[in-house]
Structure 1
């Protein structure tokens, strides 16, 4: 009988790896809390129109990458390919705006896209993200960027570059779209197949092409910064000024457009030079039209998402993190002793000790070997004779010193 394997593009997160994930999640959640962001958890599948309307039918995500199926109720359902649309739907449905003011939300979880798997990119992947809804001020843009840089700094990551651009208003982008169509049309036959398709549907995405010939052609394409109206220019100038005020350095990248249709004004990515082709570890921007596009009251918003797998790759390049080890390794031999050890171990756990109880039933020599490998500092030893005498042995695994104490005074001796 053949062994059932994990589906291509998915990956088990094993116990020796999970410490990196826990470190990342803990670090991010603590920084979010300091900035008054509250966690939100949305379903991993939604009605397909949410993503078609929110992300845009002309995007690669909707056109090529979504996991979509018909459920038993004959409804079109999609596994979420990103987090923002679901948060926006929840914001509208649950009337989170009712209290007025600004809503600061963050999320963490699995996303799904049918892409070619490679290092740092899986078909089931994970993101940490935040959304700030209810403010159109450039200060909101800079706040979310600052929080992203705080998290990456707290993780100890280096060799990161913030790339910044403005994609302007809907009107700015429409004018720029036409300029790109006019520019790329004479080169249509020289573009890669995907870019030829994008020329009529979503020409801004041609600037994102990884095809070398297309990149060479795009190098001389018009810059969106030349198509920004005064309001858009002023917003972008203020964002740039405030980033400098906070001492956050950035590079201007007029080719940065992001892949989703809902972006307006500020767009940014944080790039790592320590990764290969999949170098973006954080991407986001402003999306002032998304809430109204999904049927809600017009609400300005800005946010970002970090790819957790890529951050883990970077963390693993740093000094290895050590897995948690028990305070106490507990060995026992004999039916009475094994039963009593179970009772004592549970009591010690309730008293705050991390206890690993050996359940193998093997001889003491083998159990002692496992105790030495466990990383614990203390080994407790219980045999049937100790049960009869109501004693227990405490062995210091560092010095090999061993003493016998009464079970009644065990906690006192451990303290």
Structure 2
């Protein structure tokens, strides 16, 4: 096989299915969402944490539940060269919980952490759902008090409000109760669903014998009418669970957090108990009903997982926890483009080449000096657009057209050629593309004008 054909075979010019490059507006929105998340996390006393993308498979297989879709269908799992089974993380909570144990922090509580980064699930790609997707999440270890639930829900509300999405989302909330509540309800629910075994979807029939609560979260058309008439979990809560839920709701109301009780909200992972919640996108007529694609309306979700650390430690540690995670990709789809299209608009310096090589060197030196001054003394984003195809083809309209394509949002352009070298070294010739004016001013005055107009 020739070297050229070998390269063609090895190098695939497309990203892996369900994964994508993040460019332009997508990258700006992603960075903005992470920045807002970091700011909000600090307001609530949360500290940053970063866990590996790759974990031992047992971290997820022991905690997410054998019946979950993630374990059954979606894990990226493989044997490494040491013949150990490894998994690319499908969600953030289990890895953070593992970090709590690995670093011997169970006696140093509470711990309040936030993180963001890529997760991986091998599922069918669709609008708002990718095989590599980004999440922003928080985890709060060490408190069973319902006020901890209120705090993380309030934190989620603040995060979404600062993103400008508060009028587009709705908080759905439910309680799964304690273990006694779930045991009692599971028996009642199983008896009810068993009567419809022949009418349920294939996945729901399978879950009937493993985890019937998960059937309540089914979106399958065959299951929906059956679920609608199912017994309600809150009718089977113990008195302690009922009191806890009511107190938490009262506290949410006291700080003006609106909510809707959704009795079918159960979440998809085995480690949840008591409080579970989701923020769901509610499109306006202008947005359309398919803004996030079918079934992708949940933008942030979480709940309480008091048994997770006990499960991971084999019963050696019993640390309560609650947290949430938000889909950054979905949130980015809801943010308007306009603020990001005009964000950090750069000043562009266009160097106009001359036939004289020595003159060109002086032009390039002057361009570097001006750019350095604008960037470091005035904190103004600056780009040097080098011209390398000779002076004969350098029409101003073509120069500007290239600038606008390579540096979107540009408003100010500085032209730098032989004529400009003859000016006072403290002045520059610049054009305001919005005002359609051209002036010669000192760098200090130009910088002040740019900042005033930004």
Could you tell me whether the CA contact under 8 Å between 1:16 and 1:323 is conserved in 2? no
Matches within 5 A, 1:319-334: 321-334=340-353
Work out the CA distance in 1 between the residues paired with 2:436 and 2:340: 25
Work out the CA distance in 1 between the residues paired with 2:92 and 2:268: 14
> Per-residue displacement from partner, 1:343-367 (whole Å, max 9, x unpaired)?
4323432222211100232426233
2:381 to 345, 354, 366: 354
Work out the CA distance in 2 between the residues paired with 1:389 and 1:208: 72
- Offset at 1:177? 2.0
Work out the CA distance in 1 between the residues paired with 2:222 and 2:207: 15
Matches within 5 A, 1:217-366: 217-274=226-283, 275=292, 276-295=294-313, 297-316=317-336, 321-334=340-353, 335-336=360-361, 337-351=363-377, 352-362=379-389, 363=394, 365=396, 366=398
Change (3 A) 1:389 1:308: closer
In structure 1, the partner of 2:136 is 128
Matches within 5 A, 1:12-411: 12-100=21-109, 102-157=110-165, 158-274=167-283, 275=292, 276-295=294-313, 297-316=317-336, 321-334=340-353, 335-336=360-361, 337-351=363-377, 352-362=379-389, 363=394, 365=396, 366-371=398-403, 374=407, 375-384=409-418, 386-387=420-421, 391=425, 393-397=428-432, 398-403=435-440, 410-411=443-444
Could you tell me whether the CA contact under 8 Å between 1:120 and 1:309 is conserved in 2? yes
- Offset at 1:253? 1.4
Could you tell me whether the CA contact under 8 Å between 1:19 and 1:323 is conserved in 2? no
Question: Gaps (5+ residues) in structure 1?
Answer: none
Change (3 A) 1:369 1:112: closer
Could you tell me whether the CA contact under 8 Å between 1:115 and 1:123 is conserved in 2? yes
- Offset at 1:263? 0.5
Change (3 A) 1:203 1:36: same
Change (3 A) 1:330 1:319: closer
TM-score (norm 2): 0.84
- Offset at 1:93? 1.1
> Per-residue displacement from partner, 1:147-176 (whole Å, max 9, x unpaired)?
111111121112322111111112322222
- Offset at 1:50? 0.7
Work out the CA distance in 1 between the residues paired with 2:228 and 2:420: 80
Q: Secondary structure at the match of 1:198?
A: helix
Work out the CA distance in 2 between the residues paired with 1:396 and 1:319: 23
TM-score (norm 1): 0.92
Work out the CA distance in 1 between the residues paired with 2:29 and 2:338: 11
- Offset at 1:126? 1.2
Q: How many residues end up aligned between the 2 structures?
A: 409
